[in-house]
Amino acid sequence: MKLRIIFSIIIVVVCVAAADAAELTLKQTEKSCDIYIDGQLFAGYVTDFKGTPIIYPIIGPTGKKMTRDFPMLERNDLTEAKDHPHHRSLWFTHGNVNSLDFWALEKQQIVHRKFVKAEIDHNTAIVITENDWLDKEHQPVCSDVRTFRFGVLGETRYIDFDITVTAVQDSVVFGDTKEGTLGLRVPGTMDLTAKKRNKDADWGGHIVNAEGIKDKDTWAKRSDWVDYYGPVEGETLGIAVLNHPSSFRYPTYWHVRDYGLFAANPFGVHDFEGTTEKIGEHKMRKGESFTLCYRIVFHKGDAESAGIAEIFKQYKSSNR
């Protein structure tokens, strides 16, 4: 009988920060990269969860989880709906790439190729990865480079997410569909429909965008940012997603739903505008690419009390 010993290489990077600043540390293995703030887990980058890279868990500024546990973790209570198992915490994909559905991940998958970088720089954790989008025959359709910056701004925590997608096949089409692209699934007690699962609980949140449009009316609108906030374990907490002006097709459309899906999608014009033609598709020849840039902010209170409009102004002026 052979005894096989598998060694995991763990890289630990520590940044010694000023006494009044949060200290970020980073642990990397072959299949994950965890980011800590003052020794407590903030976010975990997982290279593969059933066919796609995701970020899970994500812990907010008060120590509460800021995305739905399902399907990564099953909870036997009413706090979470068990719908849409392809909604996986924080992820990026698209529902029509050369007619392949990477959103639902039926037979195709996005495969982590390698970590390019995992380090602390000026008290910001930077993680860069390369990934391949494979078709049903496991051939690459396109590839991407994802750059994550994890940090702290005052009482908020943030993840900057930049992604450059490049065509590998001779012709690659990102189709016009609402099913995409940057996605989050908010905590179950925060979504607008949470009251339906427990009418006696103080559940159910709100959505607001940069123009002050609220709740269901935010769906399919273009805006600089959208904020989803509501109760999480007795506190009002929120998630804001900001779209940088350098991002492809800025300002993006928002596929944000009352049941907890929170997605930014620049391609789904047919669905969002109700057009007869699918004018939102994007065609690329081999070697061509596009870049999308977002900041995801995890905060206390609602969008106004968290100062999301001011945070966007600062983010807008940053170089990507």
Looking up residue 44, the CATH number of its domain turns out to be: 2.70.98
Q: Which pair of structure tokens corresponds to residue 232?
A: 């999480």
DSSP classification of residue 67: S
Burial of 234 (0-12, 13-18, 19+ CB in 10 A): exposed
Selection from 64, 102, 37, 51 nearest residue 186 by Cα: 64
Please answer whether residues 245 and 316 qualify as being in contact, where contact means their C-beta atoms are separated by less than 8 angstroms: yes
* In-domain check, residue 4: no
* In-domain check, residue 284: yes
Please count the structural domains in the chain.
1
Backbone angles phi, psi at 291, to 5 degrees: -130, 135
Model confidence, pTM:
0.93
* In-domain check, residue 2: no
Question: Rounded CA gap, 202 and 163, in Å?
Answer: 37
Residue 14: predicted pLDDT: 40
Strands 289-300 and 225-232: unpaired
3-state secondary structure at position 20: coil
* In-domain check, residue 109: yes
Residue 75: predicted pLDDT: 87
In angstroms, what CA-CA distances link 102 with 48, 172, 233, 256?
14, 13, 33, 19
Q: Which residue has the tokens 């005052």?
A: 154
* In-domain check, residue 96: yes
Residue 319: predicted pLDDT: 84
* In-domain check, residue 1: no
Supply the range of the domain harboring residue 254. 11-316
* In-domain check, residue 64: yes
Per-residue pLDDT of the chain (320 residues), as tens digits, is 433 333 333 344 443 333 358 999 999 999 999 999 999 999 999 999 999 999 999 999 999 999 999 999 998 899 999 999 999 999 999 999 999 999 998 789 999 999 999 999 999 999 999 999 999 999 999 999 999 999 999 999 999 999 999 999 999 999 999 999 999 999 999 999 999 999 999 999 999 999 999 999 999 999 999 999 999 999 999 999 999 999 999 999 999 999 999 999 999 999 999 999 889 999 999 999 999 999 999 999 999 999 999 999 999 999 87
Residue 3: predicted pLDDT: 38
* In-domain check, residue 156: yes
Residue 20: predicted pLDDT: 59
